[in-house]
Every structure is written in C-alpha cells, then in structure tokens.
Structure 1
Amino acid sequence: MKDRDAVKAAALHQDSQRTGLGLRTFEAVLASESPIYDHPKSGTLRRAWPWQTTPPEMHKPDLARVAHHEAGHAVLLEWLGMEGVTATASPTSGLCHMPPGCLENLPDPPPDHDGRLTATAASIFHGGAMGEMIYLGTKWTGPLHYPKQVDYQRADDMLAPRFGRHSSAGHAFAQRVALHVLADRWPRVKHIAGVLVRHGVWP
C-alpha cells in the first residue's frame, strides 16, 4: 500500500477515530476476551514515550501467534474499508494481501495538520504486532520497538516525514489506534486467526 493511499483511507475514518471504547460494557469485554483500549487523543501526538521491547514469546515459532498477527493486519485493513483482503500463515511466517486496484477510487485526504491521519494510516503496519500482544496477553506500556522487522520499517517510513525517524510519539499513536480497533473487533480477529490455524490461508 502506498503511503498516500493509506492516508486517504484513514481520512475516511476521521469521525470513527474519535469514538472511544469507554462505553463498552464489562460483559461485552468478557465475551470478546479482549482488553479495553481507548482511542489515543490527538494531544499525545507530540508526547515522548519510553520504548517497550518485544517479549520473547513474539520470537518463537507459533502458528497461532502468527495467525493472530496476520489477522490483526487484515482487520485493520477491513476497518479502513479495504475489500478482498487475504492472508496466509505458518508457524514461522505469514503475509496479508490486498487485491490490485483496490485503492484506485479513494478520495484525496484533507490536510493532515497535526499528523493524525498519517499516524492512523501507519496503524495498518503495527496491526500485526498489536494483534500478537493482545493474543499473548502482553500489556502495552509504550511503543513496541522492533526496528529489524519490515512492519516497523514500513510504519517508520510513513511516519518519518511528519514525526522524524523512530518517533516514539508517532509509533505510539499508531500502535494505540491499532490496539483500539483490534480490541473492539477481537471476535473478528479470532475468527480470521482460527481459519488461518486450520487451513493456513484466509479466506
């Protein structure tokens, strides 16, 4: 996905981004087996955060973990309105795909004065790691730092023009958007991950 296309898609969700999870009932949280993550406030776009290292569990071969990683990407792309998303997963690797031409008719985004749209668009790249964190029950305490991974590198490439390289503020906002979306749609994440575990491909 090109950076501008991702920002266009993010712009379409400007209103939904402002909807927090604070009104979700405790019963709904239990039913989805996911934590509550409120959408980050725009005021945090310039906050400095301490980096969080990846837990050892995220480096071990594990089909279920990889399946939740790819499901995280898929659900973020669905949230941004992408259709025809597919995914594959094995114990050591996975991929999430979009069909060619699916971004051609997106409208131009409005001006991104504070970088919110850019950081929201970057959430698609962090969606995999955040899906893993929720699946593993790892608490998010600051932006996850995994610079050797392609997902992090692509997010950093998107964020760099607005926030600079390795900006804890930009990555934190993007990751918190991903956590917010995935927690709110955790049953969907679990469904896609389940198909990947059983068949290795989705859908």
Structure 2
Amino acid sequence: MSALEWYAHKSLGDGIFWIQERFFESGNRANIWLVRGTEQDVVIDTGLGLRSLPEYLYSAGLLQDPDKGEDLVRRPLLAVATHVHFDHAGGLYQFDQVAVHRAEADALARGDNFETATWLSESEVVRAPSPGWNARQFRVQAVQPTHILQEGNGALTRSLSRAQPPWTEPPVEPSSSPDGADSLWELQLCQQPEERERPGRTSIC
C-alpha cells in the first residue's frame, strides 16, 4: 500500500492540515497535524509510522506553496511529538529532525516500548500496510531526538509565525503520562478538528 492510500488529509486554512491514518480504526488513533511556517514546517505527532508520512506530505503536495506552484526552496521539516505513546511517536524515525520533551527523550532514544505504551491489535488495522504485516511485530523504533523541548521554549511559535498558529500561551509543565510528559503545551483536547472553537487555543489529539 502506498503512502497516498494510507493517509488522508483536510486543509483547515492558514497553512494548517489535519492528517489521519485511514486504515487504523481505533480509539487510540492520533490526529496528525502539519503546520506550515515561515522558517520551517512542523509535523505535530506522526501516527504509527506504518507508511512514510514524509512521502505522503510531498506526494500530496502539502509542502508546496500554491502561489509558486512548487516548493522551489523547501523549508526544514521538523517532527514534534506531544508525547511518545506509540500512536503519536511511531513515525518519528522517518524524519531527520525530531523534537520531544526532555522528560521522554531517553525513552524515545532507547526505543522503550513500555514507556511508549505500545499495544496494537490486528483488529485495529483494518487493511494491512504491506504483505505479511503482523501487529504483534509492531514496535516504536528508537530515535535520537535532535531537539529537546522544555518549558519556556518559544522557538516553535516564532518559526511558525506565518501560519499564525492558534496556540499562543506559553508552554506548561507536562503532566499525566506515567513519566510526567503527556503534552508540550496547555491544550484543549478533542477528537475532531471541527471542535477547535475556543479562540486562542488549538486542539492536538
């Protein structure tokens, strides 16, 4: 199965795209976000990583500037994990630049599938991404983060100024994962992007 088949997306305007894994039907399915910025483009959460997310972004034209017709100068692409659970961090290994909170950086670098809460069943993947694929063999791959995030780090907001990202509040101390790193920002959590109605906030699930 190609990446173009595995993923689907919806444009929310202002350089923000909502992406999902079409054949992962589970309450654990994470929303994937692409936010295009002035200095770099940022992917927030990466899904399971069963098919190449970067390939999809390029093939679907999401990294092209419509006014130019093509991305003559590609901006750096950074993948950020809100936390390292398998449905959010499984595709991080596909990216050259990876950012994660300092509280979970070691677990990601070890490929610690206890900390990543890896639990994927055959019934959740309704169409195999490749011949012979087996859910029991799925693991979150070890990734060495290139960017370590912590409280007060505003670099991402600055680099995304063109898209005017709706999260404007300063980062807060993550809390609620077993190791204390469930999210990078104070967020209004939701299931669908249509629920993003509160001004000045965004939703990342």
Which of the five TM-score ranges fits, normalised by the shorter chain? under 0.3
Q: Which TM-score applies when normalising by structure 1?
A: 0.25
Structure showing greater relative contact order (alpha-carbon pairs closer than 8 Å, 6 or more residues apart): 1
Q: Which TM-score applies when normalising by structure 2?
A: 0.24
